[in-house]
Structure 1
Amino acid sequence: MHTTPDEAMEISQPLLLASLLLLFTYLLVHYLSSASPRKQHTNGQGRRIPSPPALPVIGHLHLLKKPLHRSLAALAARYGEGGAGLLLLRFGSKPVLLVTSPAVADECFTVHDVALADRPGGASRRLLTEGCPAMAMCNYGPLWRQLRRLATVHALCAHRLGATSATRDAQACAMAARLWRAGPGAVAVKSVAYQFVADVIMETVAGKRMPEEQVRQFRAMTEAGFAAAGAENRHDSLPVLRLLDFGRTRRRIAGIAKARREFGQSILDDYRRRHAARGADAKETARTVLGDLLRQQKERSPEPLDDEVIRSVCMSLLQAGTDTSSSTIEWAMALLLNNPAALAKATAEIDAVVGASRLVQESDLADLPYLRCIVAETLRLYPLAPNHVPHEASRDCVVAGHAVARGTMVLVDVYSMQRDAAAWDEPGKFSPERFMDGGGIGNGDNDGGGGESSRRSRRWMMPFGMGRRKCPGEGLALRTVGLALGVMVQCFEWERVGGEEVDMREGSGLTMPMAVPLVGVCRPRAEMEALLNRLSRE
Structure 2
Amino acid sequence: MAIQYYVAVVLLSILLIVLSKLFSSRRKNLPPAPLALPIVGHLYLIKNSIHQALASLSDKYGPVLYLRFGCRNFLVVSSSPAVEDCFTKNDIILANRPRTMASDNFSFDYKSFPSAPYGDLWRVQRRLTVVELFSTLSLQRSSAIREDEIRTVIRSLFRLSLQNGNSTVDFNDLAGVFTFNSMMRILSGEQFVKEEEIGGEKGKEIVNGLREIFFGNISAMNVCDFFPVLRWFGYRGLEKQMVLLHKKRIEFLNRILDEFRRRNAGFSENSEGDEMKKKKKSPVIETLLRLQKLEPEFYTNDLIMSIILMVFVAGTETTSATIEWVMSLMLSYPEVLHKLRYEIDNNVGHKHLLNESDLSKLPYLRCVINETLRVYPPVPLLLPHYSLEDCVVAGYDVPKHTTVMVNAWAMHHDPKVWEEPEKFKPERFETVVGEGEGFNYKFIPFGTGRRACPGNNMGLRLVSLALGACIQCFDWKNNGEYKTCAYLSRSTLKKAEGLEAICTPRKNCLQFLSQL
TM-score (structure 2 length as normaliser): 0.90
Task: After TM superposition, give the deviation of residue 181 of structure 1 in Å.
Answer: 2.8
- Contact 1:440 1:459 (C-alpha < 8 Å) held by counterparts: no
Q: Which residue of 1 aligns with 2:213?
A: 221
Cα distance in 1 for residues equivalent to 2:18 and 2:295: 52
Q: Deviations over 1:474-504 (max 9, x none)?
A: 1111111100110111112221222x23333
Task: After TM superposition, give the deviation of residue 150 of structure 1 in Å.
Answer: 1.2
Task: After TM superposition, give the deviation of residue 343 of structure 1 in Å.
Answer: 0.8
- Contact 1:242 1:250 (C-alpha < 8 Å) held by counterparts: yes
- Read off the aligned partner of 1:482 and give its amino acid letter: S
**Counterpart check, 1:168 vs 2:146:** yes
Q: Which residue of 2 aligns with 1:244?
A: 233
Task: After TM superposition, give the deviation of residue 279 of structure 1 in Å.
Answer: 5.6
**Counterpart check, 1:55 vs 2:55:** no
Q: 1:40 to 1:195 in 2, by over 3 A?
A: farther
Q: Which residue of 1 aligns with 2:198?
A: none
Moved more, 67-76 or 33-42: 33-42
Provide structure 2 residue ranges, at least 5 long, that are not aligned to the other structure: 194-202
Q: 1:155 to 1:405 in 2, by over 3 A?
A: same
Q: 1:464 to 1:131 in 2, by over 3 A?
A: same
Q: Which residue of 2 aligns with 1:485?
A: 467
Q: Which residue of 2 aligns with 1:269?
A: 258
Task: After TM superposition, give the deviation of residue 261 of structure 1 in Å.
Answer: 1.9
Q: Deviations over 1:309-337 (max 9, x none)?
A: 22222221121100111111111111111
- Contact 1:151 1:317 (C-alpha < 8 Å) held by counterparts: no
SS in 2 for 1:501: coil
Q: Which residue of 1 aligns with 2:174?
A: 192
Q: 1:77 to 1:481 in 2, by over 3 A?
A: same
SS in 1 for 2:492: coil
Q: 1:28 to 1:131 in 2, by over 3 A?
A: closer
Moved more, 512-521 or 267-276: 512-521
Moved more, 485-494 or 105-114: 485-494
2:82 to 93, 104, 109: 104
Q: Which residue of 2 aligns with 1:515?
A: 496
Q: Which residue of 2 aligns with 1:305?
A: 299
Moved more, 181-190 or 249-258: 181-190
Q: Which residue of 2 aligns with 1:149?
A: 127
Q: 1:66 to 1:523 in 2, by over 3 A?
A: farther
Cα distance in 1 for residues equivalent to 2:210 and 2:113: 18
- Contact 1:40 1:403 (C-alpha < 8 Å) held by counterparts: no
Cα distance in 2 for residues equivalent to 1:485 and 1:410: 34
SS in 2 for 1:471: coil
- Contact 1:41 1:403 (C-alpha < 8 Å) held by counterparts: no
Cα distance in 2 for residues equivalent to 1:55 and 1:41: 15
1:295 to 282, 290, 293: 290
Q: Which residue of 2 aligns with 1:503?
A: 484
Q: Deviations over 1:334-380 (max 9, x none)?
A: 11111011011111211111222211101100001111111111111
- Contact 1:264 1:312 (C-alpha < 8 Å) held by counterparts: no
Alignment of 1:41-190 (within 5 A): 46-78=28-60, 80-81=61-62, 85-130=63-108, 133-183=111-161, 184-190=166-172
Task: After TM superposition, give the deviation of residue 278 of structure 1 in Å.
Answer: 5.2
Task: After TM superposition, give the deviation of residue 215 of structure 1 in Å.
Answer: 3.5
Q: Deviations over 1:417-440 (max 9, x none)?
A: 112112222111111111123437
- Extract structure 1 runs of 4+ deviating beyond 6 A: none
Task: After TM superposition, give the deviation of residue 39 of structure 1 in Å.
Answer: 5.2
- Read off the aligned partner of 1:138 and give its amino acid letter: A
Q: Deviations over 1:209-236 (max 9, x none)?
A: 11345433221223326x332x4x1121
Task: After TM superposition, give the deviation of residue 411 of structure 1 in Å.
Answer: 0.3
- Contact 1:440 1:461 (C-alpha < 8 Å) held by counterparts: no
- Contact 2:475 2:504 (C-alpha < 8 Å) held by counterparts: yes
Q: Which residue of 2 aligns with 1:452?
A: none
- Read off the aligned partner of 1:419 and give its amino acid letter: H
Q: Deviations over 1:255-278 (max 9, x none)?
A: 111122222222221111110145
Cα distance in 1 for residues equivalent to 2:212 and 2:97: 24
Task: After TM superposition, give the deviation of residue 98 of structure 1 in Å.
Answer: 0.2
Q: 1:141 to 1:66 in 2, by over 3 A?
A: farther
Alignment of 1:6-21 (within 5 A): 17-21=1-5
Q: Deviations over 1:2-21 (max 9, x none)?
A: xxxxxxxxxxxxxxx43233
2:246 to 236, 257, 260: 257
Q: Which residue of 2 aligns with 1:471?
A: 453
Q: Give me the CA root mean square deviation.
A: 2.3
- Contact 1:377 1:430 (C-alpha < 8 Å) held by counterparts: yes
Task: After TM superposition, give the deviation of residue 157 of structure 1 in Å.
Answer: 0.6
Q: Which residue of 2 aligns with 1:3?
A: none
Q: Which residue of 2 aligns with 1:338?
A: 332
- Contact 1:419 1:427 (C-alpha < 8 Å) held by counterparts: yes
Cα distance in 2 for residues equivalent to 1:466 and 1:138: 17
Q: Which residue of 1 aligns with 2:199?
A: none
Task: After TM superposition, give the deviation of residue 444 of structure 1 in Å.
Answer: 7.5
Q: Which has more radius of gyration?
A: 1
SS in 1 for 2:191: coil
Alignment of 1:376-525 (within 5 A): 376-439=370-433, 441-443=435-437, 460-498=442-480, 500-525=481-506
Task: After TM superposition, give the deviation of residue 466 of structure 1 in Å.
Answer: 1.0
- Read off the aligned partner of 1:88 and give its amino acid letter: Y
Provide structure 1 residue ranges, at least 5 long, that are not aligned to the other structure: 1-16, 446-457
1:33 to 5, 11, 17: 17
Task: After TM superposition, give the deviation of residue 521 of structure 1 in Å.
Answer: 2.2
SS in 1 for 2:89: coil
SS in 2 for 1:97: strand
**Counterpart check, 1:203 vs 2:185:** yes
Cα distance in 2 for residues equivalent to 1:368 and 1:400: 38
